[in-house]
Structure formats: structure tokens, C-alpha cells
Amino acid sequence: MAERNSAQWPEPRDGDMYRLLFEGAHDAILLTAVDGPVLRANAAACRIFGMSEAEICAAGRTGLVDLSDPRLADLLAMRERTGRAEGALTFFRKGGIPFEAELWSSVFEGKDGESQTWMVIRDVSERVRMEDEVRRINAYLAAQAEASPDGIMVFDQRGAVVTHNRRFLRIWSLDSATVAAGCAAIAEKMLAIAGGSAEARQVVSCDPVLDLVTVTGEVSLPGGTRVLCHSTPLWVGATHMGRVWYHRDVTELRKAEAEARTTAAILAAQFEASPEALVVTGPDGRVVTYNRRSLEMSGLTEADMVASPEVRRARLAALTTDPAGASTLFDEESLHPEQDHHVEVVLADGRVIEQHVRPLELPQGRGVAWFYRDITEQKRLIEAVRAGERRLRDVLNAAIDGIIGISVTGVIETANPAAEQIFGYGAGELIGLDVAALMPAPYAAVHARDVERYVRTGEAHIIGKSRDLTGLRKDGTTFPLELAVNETGEADHVRFVGIVRDITARKRAEEALVAAQKAESLGVLAGGIAHQLNNLLMGIMGNAGFVAMEALPGSPAGEALRDIEEASANAASLARALLSYSGAAPDAPSRVDLSQLAGEVTGLLTARRPPGVSLVTNFAVGLPAVRLNPARGRELLTHLLVNAFEALAEVGGEVVVSTGLVSAAAARRTGGFVSGQLPQTGCVSLEIADNGPGIAADVLPRVFDPFFSTRFIGRGLGLAAALGIVRAAGGAIHVSSEPGKGATFTVLIPVAGDE
């Protein structure tokens, strides 16, 4: 590498000069081959790119230049045409960090006759940042002009008003017509108000001669008002553009100056009585003045104060816990009196003293002002605050609710572990995200609008209130949440704090409660209807049977009576189904082996399977008994199996019936729909699963409603009656289904206790 690099320098007679320029340049200089490899890099390049020369050479131009920068193509085309190129371009520091730079590139023929390129790169990222800052400051100054305590009026060379602020008009009681008339009319009215005094004519004039000079003076107005008037020419470069008048009402200032003279004596007394130690030294380092507190705080004596600077510094250093270190600090301060210094020293008695040293212009030359403050208590309080912050951080980390700090622009700046867990993010992943990333589109837009309105108008729609929303996890799933947002009062940093709670469990409990109340109401209604219907049917069936006994065999009346008896029997079956749904069936429960009962019913119903439907059983052996009336149990199984058969009647498929023992925790499965009261202890399960068309999500909560059915056949009472039987046994039914994936009905009945 050394041989190749040395071959790139110009002729020997110029080598030393070029090497000096190359190595001493403030800008990065790269010597490259035309095809891209970097041959040399100076020290400035290593500093700017944050790499060694070897790393720069290994990276090559393609590793240093942002190839996606659209300006690159123009620079390459310019170099191709002219052999030179210059302009702005984006480069990469070590680690891929981009920065803005100015580039000068020139192609030349090397000593060996091959084309090489000099690239001079100037890091202008700081300049760009400063230019942005200057633009921001200019905008700020423009706004300040209107809020300025001075009245401001700007004239062009012809005396026309270019701009002014409202304060100028208030000081001189000018109206818009006078302003529109220009400088002469304005000056005439101002002189009239000032009574045409000589002092007013010196500073309020439209004489062209005054356009090129600066004039300052005060004008007295009626009522004792004093106005400080300052007129100065307005130049843009070497071009005279007009003049600017700055007028300030200094009435109160002049009163304050008079009061200040009276206050001077008070300040002198305050200097002596100040809680801070104050010492002033002259150009020779000797003490000019000091207050009593400086002696008390430092431990120095009056003799020390009038001693030479060296003696005083040595005496003060000896009073600290580190005399050698303190002496070095004090000597450094004395060697550079033109600079500000700030140090902290610990005295031998444990007190912490903060020392500020600032240059001070005195009549006899530049001196130094020494300020000493005992910050022992302040240090203790700072440590106490830090300890409080640590405790608060521990509380936030231990909170079960998510706590999120949000800037006024909606950027997440703080988030506790609970918030990260709720939304499915890793540690620190929430920081920097827009809070809209935690909400589905409709809620995000509404939330952003409400926050913007609050910041703009102070009208609170969400601030200080709690409301239910839908949250969006990192994996794209949504969930119900409760959100409370409050303002922190920090105007320059975090503006809002959101408290987030996952209310999925609460919503499910509320839905279950509504379903239970609905089922209970329907059950009461169904039971009442069934009892009334049974009473009516008893009379109908009894009378029809009695009349049928008197009718002649084969007579039309006998046939009609048999139709009445058959219809009444069907109505009685319907009444029994309603009673089963209401849980008011009069049959007494007993201890039943659910596997044995299921085996009996599936054996009887095998013949009722539709064509193309198979029935598979998987019954657990040795299950604990449940308390269930056997007849009602058979009816329960019949309703659920018939429902599965009907689901597969047109498409065919498989029905699987199984039993098992389930713990209370496992019974509280997520997803699907649950009706009834989930057992609090262990329970026996009866599961009927089919691979039919399934049930739509919006239909799932209604499958147990009486007389509700999505099929052409059926009365819509089978599943309702099944639910009534299970509820009467103290259990619940869980339904899970997706369209096209079949449906699974799981009956959960608590294990019967010992009798």
C-alpha cells in the first residue's frame, strides 16, 4: 500500500508542498482511481468519516457516497464533460451515518499515465443546521417586531411608509389616513402633539439630510410623557433604502432611573447583607471589595483578604479537603481572568461550596467577580429528588395499567412495561412511535382531532375523561381498552399522559351477563307459556279422547278426532321443549354417567343419520357422575345430535361425540360463545363436533334463542331446550365455529358431590 500511495504524488519538486497541503487541509481529501478505489485519504478525511485511512480505502467511493442521492448523476455527468465537478452530495460516516457535504472533484493524469481523481469534501452538516436555526430566529424576530416595546415605523426613500407596528400608532395617536399620507404628514402631526419644541424638531423631521445620519433624542409630550426617539438610515449592503424610526415611551423608565439612584444605596447595603459570598478583585489580583458573608463562608480572615493573591489562594486551598487539587483550580482561574469559571469545592468541615468566577470591567481595568454559594443543602435535595424519581420509576414499572407519555405532536416518549405488554411490543419499541399506531384507523383519526382541538382551544373532549376504545396490537389484532388522558403541564416536553387498561375480560363478563339476563327473561316467558299451553292441551286432549270413544269406527268424525289428538301431542312436545328451555321441567335429577348415557343415545340415533353422514364416538371411561335427570339428558343429546345431523344433511360429513373430565381453569376457554354459568369446580364435558358449513360470527350469539333458526327445517327450539336442560343442571354450553370449518358444542356440567 505504501508503494502504491507514494506513486500517486506529483513530481518530487512539488511533493513536499502537496503533502503539506494534503495532510494539513481542514477538508477531507481523497485520491481515487477513476474506477472507484480510494488510494489515499488525509487526516481530515479520517476525522470527518470517523474511519482510519485503511477503512476509507477499503470502503471505496461506493461505500462513502450515498448512491441514492439524485444529485450524484448530475455531478458524474459534469465531471464526464469537463473533468471537474462540484456541488452538494450526501456521504456516509462510519456506521452508515449520513451527512451533507460540499464536493470538489477533479480528474488528472497520474505519474504512470493513468487517470486519477482528487476529491475535496467539506462537511457542511453543521452549517446547514445553523442556516436552519437562522431562518427560525428570523421568523421569531419578525414576530417580536409586533410585540416590541418600541414603536417602529419604516419609510422608503420617498417618505412612504413601508411598515409599522401598532405601538407606534398608539404612542402618537396616529390614524390610518395620516400613515397613508407619508412621512411629512406624520411628522407634522407629531410636532403638533409635541408643541413644536426644538428637541422634537431635532428627531422628528423628513429632511432628506437626516436620511443618512443617526439621530437620537427625547421629546416631552403633554401630561409628562417622555418619548425616546431614534432615527437611523436603512441600508441593504451599500444601497440606501430609507429610514427607520424607533420610538419608545420612556416615562416610566425615567421615573425608574430616579428611583434607581435612590436604590443604589440600598443595593450597596444588600451587597453586604447578601447570603452569597461576593469578592471583587482588580487587574492585579488583589481584593477590591468583599462582603462579610465571604469571610464567614470561606473561613478566610480580613488579613487574608488584603494579602497578595498567591497567599490568599494558598490559604483558601488549605481549607478544602483536597488542597493540591483546589490550588490547581484557583491558579487556572487566575491565569485566565477573561474567562468564566465554575467549580465546586468541598471544605474540610464537609460543606460544598459552588464558585462562579466572571470577568468584570472596573474603572482601573479588567477585574474579576467571585461568587460563592453554599450548596450543601441543594446537593442533598437533588439527591432526594433523584431518589424520588427512582421510586416513581419503580411504581410505574410495577403498575398493572399501561402508562404512556405523549408529546404534543402525538409521539410516544415514555411507556411502562405494562403498556408494552398490553400492545404486544418489546422493551423500548413503543418509544418514538406515533400514538396512532396503537389504534385502528377510525379511532386514530378521532383521537388526533380531539387532541389538536384541545391544544388549540382548550376545549376538553378527551382530556381528564375516561372512555372505551379499540386498541391495536403490534401483531394487528384489536382488543377493547379503557383510555384516560390527562395533561401533564410540561409545555416544552411531554404534554399528555395516557392510562390504558385492557378490558377484554370485563367486556366478556358484561356480554355473558347480558346473555344470561336475556336467557333468564326468555326462560321465564317460555315457562309461563308452556304451563298455560299444557293446561289448554290437557282439556283439548281429554275431551278429544272422550269424544273419540263415542265415535263410530271409520267415521269422518273419528278421523278428525285422531288428527286433533295427534296435533295436541305435537303441541305437548313443544310445551315440554319450552319447559326444558326454562329449566322448569318437573323431573328430579339423579347421579348419571354421562359417557354411558351418551352411548345409549348415539346408538338409538345412528339410524336417523342423513345419507353421507358418519358418527364417531370417543367416550371416556370412569368419569365422575353428574346430577342430571336421565330423560332430560337423553333429550339434551338428542337435540345436539339432531342439530349436527341437520347441519350436514345437504353436504355430508362427520359428527364426533366425545366425553371427558375438564378442570375449572380449562373450562374458561377463550374465543367462541358461552351461554349458561361456567362451573367453578371440575366438570364433565360432552362435545358434539361436526365439519359442516359452520356458523357466522354475527349469528353465534343467537343460536340458543327460542324459535331462531337459519335452516328451512326445524322449529328453532332444539338448542334452546338443550340450553335450558344444561342450565338446570348448573352448567354451561360453549360454542366455537367459523364459516366453512364446522361447529363444536361443548356441554360442561359440574361433577356431582358425594351424597
Question: Which residues share a beta bridge with 103?
Answer: 87, 121
* Cell reading at 303: 488579613
So what's the pLDDT on residue 104?
92
Task: Give the amino acid at 112.
Answer: D
Residue 186: give its domain's CATH number: 3.30.450.20
How far apart (Å, rounded) are the C-alpha atoms in residues 487 and 504?
26
* Domain presence at residue 744: yes
Q: Considering only residues 7 and 358, tell me which one the structure prediction assigns the higher pLDDT.
A: 358
Of 342, 353, 400, the C-alpha closest to 376 is: 353
pLDDT band per the 50, 70, 90 thresholds, residue 41 = very high
Residues 567 and 481 in one domain: no
Residues 514 and 488 in one domain: no
Task: Enter the DSSP assignment of 113.
Answer: S
Query: Virtual CA dihedral for 16, 19, 20, 22, nearest 10 degrees?
Result: 160
CA distances from 740 to 651, 654, 683, 709 (A): 11, 14, 30, 18
What whole-number percentage of the chain has pLDDT above 70?
81
Residues 245 and 282 in one domain: no
Q: Considering only residues 553 and 718, tell me which one the structure prediction assigns the higher pLDDT.
A: 718
Most confident residue range from 476-490, 528-542, 574-588, 617-631: 617-631
Judged by DSSP in three states, 89 sits in: strand
**Sign of the CA dihedral running 34, 37, 42, 45:** positive
How far apart (Å, rounded) are the C-alpha atoms in residues 534 and 573?
10
pLDDT tens digits for range 687-706: 999 998 888 887 877 787 77
Least confident of 88-102, 464-478, 555-569: 555-569
Residues 490 and 540 in one domain: no
Residues 423 and 447 in one domain: yes
Q: Which domain holds residue 477?
A: 399-502
| 609: pLDDT strictly greater than 70 | yes
* Domain presence at residue 261: no
Residues 411 and 471 in one domain: yes
pLDDT band per the 50, 70, 90 thresholds, residue 266 = confident
Residues 603 and 732 in one domain: yes
So what's the pLDDT on residue 12?
40
**For 551-649, where are the alpha helices, taking DSSP H only?**
556-582, 594-605, 630-648
* Domain presence at residue 139: no
pLDDT band per the 50, 70, 90 thresholds, residue 5 = very low
Residues 266, 267, 273: CA angle, nearest 5 degrees: 90
DSSP letters, 405-434, are EEETTSBEEEE-HHHHHHHT--TTTTTT-B
How far apart (Å, rounded) are the C-alpha atoms in residues 689 and 711?
18
pLDDT tens digits for range 538-551: 667 666 666 666 66
pLDDT tens digits for range 304-348: 888 888 888 888 888 888 888 878 877 777 777 677 777 778 888
So what's the pLDDT on residue 562?
66
Most confident residue range from 35-49, 325-339, 497-511: 35-49
Mean pLDDT of the chain: 80
Residues 120 and 220 in one domain: no
Tell me the backbone φ, ψ of residue 619, rounded to 5 degrees. Answer: -100, 130
Find the mean pLDDT for residues 10-29: 71
Most confident residue range from 82-91, 145-154, 384-393, 403-412: 82-91
Least confident of 89-93, 516-520, 661-665, 701-705: 516-520
So what's the pLDDT on residue 90?
93
* Domain presence at residue 100: yes
Task: Enter the DSSP assignment of 612.
Answer: T
* Domain presence at residue 391: no
* Cell reading at 423: 400492545
* Cell reading at 600: 345409549
* Domain presence at residue 136: no
Residues 177 and 222 in one domain: yes
How far apart (Å, rounded) are the C-alpha atoms in residues 88 and 92?
14
So what's the pLDDT on residue 52?
92
Domain end position, chosen among 324, 345, 378: 378
Q: Considering only residues 490 and 113, tell me which one the structure prediction assigns the higher pLDDT.
A: 113
pLDDT band per the 50, 70, 90 thresholds, residue 70 = very high
Cell 416595546 locates to 149
Find the mean pLDDT for residues 112-130: 87
So what's the pLDDT on residue 605?
81
So what's the pLDDT on residue 656?
93
Tell me the backbone φ, ψ of residue 498, rounded to 5 degrees. Answer: -105, 130
So what's the pLDDT on residue 527?
56
Find the mean pLDDT for residues 179-190: 91
| 518: pLDDT strictly greater than 70 | no
* Domain presence at residue 263: no
Residues 407 and 556 in one domain: no
Strands lying side by side in the sheet with 412-415: 412-415, 402-407, 494-502, 478-487, 465-472
* Cell reading at 217: 433624542
- Report whether 199 contacts 217 (CB < 8 A): yes
Least confident of 287-291, 352-356, 447-451: 447-451
| 448: pLDDT strictly greater than 90 | no
DSSP letters, 471-519, are EE-TTS-EEEEEEEEEE---TTSEEEEEEEEE-HHHHHHHHHHHHHHHH
> Domain count of the chain?
6
